Amino acid sequence: MSDLTTSHIEQISRYVKKQNISYSYLAEELIDHICCEVEEKMQQGLDFSDAYRTVISQIPPARIREIQEETLFVIDTKYRFMKTLLKISGVTGTILLIFGAMLKIQHLPGAGILMSSGAIILAFLFLPASLSVLWKETHSKKSLLLFVSAFAAGVLFIFGTLFKIQHWPGAGFVLSLAAASFILLFIPVLLAGKIKEQDSIPKKWIFSIAAAGAVCYSAALVLRIQNLPFAGALNLAGIILICLIAFPWYAWITWRHESKVDSRFTFAVITIFLILIPGTLLNLNTRRRFDDGFTAALNRQQYLFNCQYNENQLRLNQYSRSGQYPEIKLLFSETDKLLGTVGNIQSDMLTWNKGRKSVNITVNDVKSGSRSENDNMFPQYDSRFSTESAKHFLYPGTSSRRAMELAISAYLSSISGYVSEVTASKYKDLLSPEVYLPVDTTDRHFISKFSGLHSLELLKNSIMAVESDVMTKLAAK
């Protein structure tokens, strides 16, 4: 060891300790082994720098960590158990989630059970086992906050995604907590560690830019899931920072002197394509197509209403001199009242926002002269995917739902004398609110403002169909 100076030994010791070797005896053995190898190379005529690089290239950091894992696996029973649990739970939870997602896409039974089981296994077995193994391998208090923040973000994200897919309440809140822990804890701690490890100023800037891009990208996904504004702008900013600035710059600095393609470069490219690009396409396109589909459905329902409106109005004018005209006119008046009730609910849903109190609607609040064409009734409105307005206006027990049920009951009573009992029973089934709206307040399938407006539009078209049928029967007398 006489050929090695104290500074040389300290440099080798710093390299080994930098690999977070938690088993002290193993760290000492590795330092001694590398020192012997370096000294042997120096005795062959190499200076310390060349000998050190040669030996380090033969024992890279990945191999040092493998040696520690193999050592711990042999001498530590708890580590061996947690390592086995890590592998089994990771494979099992992933398989359950994949099959659950496939069943969910195909609308087959058992999807919820499989996805819930997979999420529970990953959250309460795989992630704790991972945390235990990482701590056992490093014993670094500096990394403890990093591990804990990653664990918290992972558990919250898994359950937030499960709640969102299953349409359970609280999904948005859980996903927001996951994003907050990832953005405010995990990324800053990871960035601080990376910057402290690097001696190169450009790489410090690269990691900072990549962290900013990850924050923007994560925030964009949460905002898109929550249907909040600025998701597109943040998503674009994240892609630019990661894909167009940080990654090319890092690749140029790190691998410009490499004679062959490094495996890390391949992994980085695959990560970008498998995570960032599909996520961006989903972020940019899904909601727009979903939005357009509902808008087209609403427009078709409004067109049908307008056609039936014009047809019934024309027939009313044709029967103005018939003996049944007073009854037909009364029918029109009763239909106006019912359409007015439904139209008022639609109008209040369009203008209502979370934080306003629900508008109390009664039969006496019905506006006169409500029969009109639905020309561009829903041009643009905010919070179209929010479920709050439907809960306040369409669920059983709300004042507007009770007013609608009373108005429908009054309408059916007013026309019962014009038709047979069998036909009246069919009208009752056709105009039942339970056909179009939630049946009870515990219904897990919450409907959005878009769906609620569309359901009410279907109800209005059914009312127009009933009016047309009753009119035909009156004219035939």
Q: Rounded to an integer, what distance in angstroms lies between the CA atom of residue 223 and that of residue 283?
A: 10
| Cα 38–Cα 43–Cα 47 angle in degrees, nearest 5 | 65
The torsion region of residue 386 among left (phi > 0), alpha (psi -120 to 50) and beta comes to beta
pTM of the model: 0.51
pLDDT given at position 296: 73
pLDDT tens digit at each of 477 positions of the chain: 446 777 777 777 777 766 666 555 566 667 777 788 788 878 777 777 778 777 777 776 666 666 666 666 655 667 677 778 888 888 898 899 888 888 887 878 888 888 889 888 988 888 888 877 777 766 666 677 777 888 888 888 888 878 877 777 777 788 888 888 888 888 888 888 888 877 778 888 988 998 898 888 888 877 776 667 777 788 888 888 888 888 888 878 777 665 555 666 677 677 766 666 666 665 555 445 455 566 677 778 888 888 888 888 888 888 878 778 888 888 888 898 899 888 888 888 877 754 444 444 333 333 333 455 444 445 445 566 677 777 888 888 888 889 999 999 999 998 888 888 888 899 998 999 888 887 776 654 567 777 888 888 889 999 999 998 988 888 877
| Cα 246–Cα 247–Cα 250 angle in degrees, nearest 5 | 85
In contact, 301 and 440? CB cutoff 8 Å: no
The CA radius of gyration of the chain, in Å to the nearest whole number, is: 34
Label residues 12-34 b or e (16+ Cβ within 10 Å = b).
bbebbeebbbebeebbeebbeeb
pLDDT given at position 115: 86
pLDDT given at position 356: 47
| Best CA proximity match to 299, nearest among 383, 377, 394, 389 | 377
Token match 């309408």: residue?
411
pLDDT given at position 74: 58
Token match 């961006």: residue?
280
Measured between its terminal Cα atoms, the distance across the chain in Å is 118
Q: Which two tokens stand for residue 69?
A: 């894992």
Q: Rounded to an integer, what distance in angstroms lies between the CA atom of residue 341 and that of residue 337?
A: 6
Burial group, residue 258, by CB count within 10 angstroms (0-12, 13-18, 19+): exposed
Contacting residues for 369 by C-beta, under 8 A, at least 6 apart: 336
Contacting residues for 440 by C-beta, under 8 A, at least 6 apart: 396
Q: Rounded to an integer, what distance in angstroms lies between the CA atom of residue 364 and that of residue 407?
A: 10
pLDDT given at position 100: 87
Q: Which two tokens stand for residue 430?
A: 């056709």
